[in-house]
A and B are shown apart, each in its own frame.
Chain A
Amino acid sequence: SRIAFGSLSKIAVRRNSLKMFRLAVLLGLVAFCAAKLPIDHCCSAEDRNIVQEQWQTLWKDTESSRVKMAFGRNLLLKLAELNPAVKGLFANVDIDNPTGGKFNAHAFRILNGIDMTINLLKDPEGLDAALDHLADQHAVRSGVTKAQFRSMGAILSDALPRVLDDYNSLSWKSCFKLILTQIASKLSD
């Protein structure tokens, strides 16, 4: 009976250590994927490297300000085209005159916001604080919805490969999912 008891306890220990192992793997995955987001959208360290490197190719030139403006304008106008309610949200930055100073400056700011978050990707704590601030800035604008951010995600997935020679769609999608989800986190659907 002593032998039987011994082998039973061995099995119990094995089962326990298997459970512990599973738990450790799970905890590791959760930590790796920043806990808040579904596990299939990691934006891993390597994804962040890729996104930063590919994004950087757009800004080699001193005239990148004009690229920023044109790209930002394009994104916002497309968003307004696909979501008619959006147009009114940008009335105070003169969306009706999209090549004027006011809208240009706004387009530049939006792109600089995206640029800032991409450049903070390797500083999770700084990124988190920056995204939280952007979430607050959008939460006070009534009429802005999560659906509009999903639409922006789709517009970016379509637009980025058209301006970037090298575009790793999985890395970009997972990192933009993280960025846009957090900016939209204080909005309603």
Chain B
Amino acid sequence: MKTAIVLVLAALVACASASGCDSLARLKVKGQWSRAYSSGSDRENFVIALWRAFFAQAPEAVSLFSNVGNGDSSSGLFRAHGERVISGLDAAINLLDQPETLKAELDHLQEQHEPRNIPAKYFTVFRTALGNVLPAQLGRCYDKEAWKACFDVIAAGIQGQ
């Protein structure tokens, strides 16, 4: 009886992890990202919306951006910084299905983030911001679970976990 329960539990765990950021979820996230990220001024508006959603949850986080325009999207300095950060996320998402190159990119992003000592909670805040803005771009196509799982893979890599 006990063995059976353990087996069922093990099967459930296997099932849960298989529905995480597996190879199909990665393809889906890549496809959804390329539509949401867009280009030109649409892209800039998307990026600005993402950062507004971020700072709306964590207004105190502007202090992390004191040398790049304090999170103020009316500043060219911050718009450029916002684009730069999201361009790093774009690289990580696009490389989700190429493990060796993804690893190299995440190592690079980790090196850039390490000296800044960013509290882990801000990665969760950022994930929530994506969860707020992506559905607005993608409508019903937005796959919440796939995004959550794959964003966590990227965030863990950037935090060196």
Contacts and interface: CB of A to CB of B under 8 A. Distances in A.
Interface of A: 52, 56, 59, 62, 64-65, 68-69, 100-102, 104-106, 108-109, 112-113, 115-116, 119-120, 122-130, 132-133
Nearest to B94: A65
A125 B44 CA distance: 13
B95 A105 contact: yes
Contact of A64 (B34, B44, B100): B34
Nearest to B95: A65
Interface residues of B, number: 29
B76 A62 contact: no
B103 A112 contact: no
The main secondary structure of chain A at its interface with chain B is helix
18 contacts: A52-B39, A52-B40, A56-B40, A59-B34, A59-B39, A68-B94, A101-B101, A101-B102, A105-B101, A108-B94, A112-B87, A116-B87, A119-B39, A119-B40, A119-B83, A120-B44, A124-B76, A129-B81
B156 interface: no
Interface in B64-122: 76-77, 79-81, 83-84, 87, 90-91, 94-95, 98, 100-105, 108
A172 B81 CA distance: 25
A92 to B, nearest CB: 11
Question: Most chain-A Cβ atoms within 10 A of its Cβ — which of B80, B84, B102, B108?
Answer: B80
Contact of A105 (B34, B84, B90, B91): B91
Contacts of A105: 91, 95, 101-102, 104-105, 108
B161 interface: no
A126 B68 CA distance: 11
Given A64-B34, A104-B101, A123-B76, A133 B84 contact: yes
The 4 closest A-B pairs by CB, nearest first: A125-B76, A101-B100, A65-B94, A129-B80
B31 interface: yes
A138 to B, nearest CB: 14
Contacts of B103: 101
A94 B125 CA distance: 35
A69 B19 CA distance: 29
Contacts of A116: 83-84, 87
A157 to B, nearest CB: 22
Interface string B12-32: 000000000000000100110
